[in-house]
Amino acid sequence: MAKEDKITLDAEVTEALPDAMFKVRLQNDQEIIAYVSGKMRKFFIRILPGDRVTVEMSPYDMTKGRIVYRY
């Protein structure tokens, strides 16, 4: 596995936390903490609880992720 390998999953935002962090529920009912990616922050993409998003996760830490797309 290379360092660039990322796991991409669909999820639903369940709760907004301080510092642009969100609690998201993955399709397998696991809840993780996710933050907004830089491009989404740059272009002021708003994320609210209930939104469907795509999350990138590292295979080394399966408790944190990065939101890269909002449907």
Domain residues of the chain, as ranges?
Answer: 7-70
Asked if 33 contacts 40 with a C-beta cutoff of 8 angstroms, the reply is no
Asked if 58 contacts 7 with a C-beta cutoff of 8 angstroms, the reply is yes
CA distance linking residue 62 with residue 26, whole number of Å: 11
Mean pLDDT of 50-56: 97
Query: Would you identify the CATH topology of the domain 7-70?
Result: OB fold (Dihydrolipoamide Acetyltransferase, E2P) (2.40.50)
Asked if 49 contacts 13 with a C-beta cutoff of 8 angstroms, the reply is yes
Return the percentage of the chain with pLDDT > 70, whole number.
96
pTM here? Answer: 0.90
